[in-house]
C-alpha cells in the first residue's frame, strides 16, 4: 500500500497513519491467505474474488508457426457486486 492510499483512507478519521496501514495490511493479507487456501472471498456490496483454472492447451506461435504447449493455469477472477456496478454506472 502506498502512502497516498493510506492518507486517502485516513482522511476524515481520527486514526493514525500507522494504524490505518496495519489495518489495511491485515485486510489484504486475510484475502490473500483465503485465496491461497482456494476459498472464495466475498465482500458484500463490493464483489467476489475467486480462483479459476484454465486448462492446458496447445497454441501456435504466430511468428514461427510452431505449435507450443501452454500448461494449466490458475487465475484470479473478480465479479463485481450489484451495488458497486450500480454506483459505477450512475457516476458516468
Banded model confidence at residue 15, pLDDT cuts 50, 70, 90? confident
pTM: predicted TM-score of the whole model, two decimal places: 0.70
Q: Return the pLDDT at 13.
A: 73
In CATH, what number does 40-92 get? Answer: 4.10.520.10
The three-state secondary structure class of 46 is coil
Banded model confidence at residue 17, pLDDT cuts 50, 70, 90? confident
3-state helix, strand, coil in the chain (%, to 5): 40, 30, 30
* Domain map (residue ranges) of the chain: 1-39, 40-92
Amino acid at each position: 500500500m502506498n502512502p497516498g492510499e493510506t492518507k486517502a483512507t485516513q482522511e476524515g478519521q481520527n486514526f493514525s497513519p500507522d494504524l490505518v496501514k496495519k489495518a489495511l495490511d491485515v485486510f489484504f493479507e486475510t484475502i490473500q491467505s483465503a485465496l491461497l487456501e482456494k476459498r472464495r472471498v466475498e465482500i458484500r456490496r463490493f464483489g467476489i474474488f475467486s480462483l479459476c483454472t484454465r486448462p492446458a492447451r496447445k497454441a501456435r506461435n504466430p511468428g514461427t508457426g510452431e505449435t507450443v504447449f501452454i500448461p494449466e493455469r490458475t487465475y484470479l477472477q473478480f465479479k463485481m457486486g450489484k451495488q458497486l456496478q450500480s454506483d459505477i454506472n450512475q457516476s458516468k
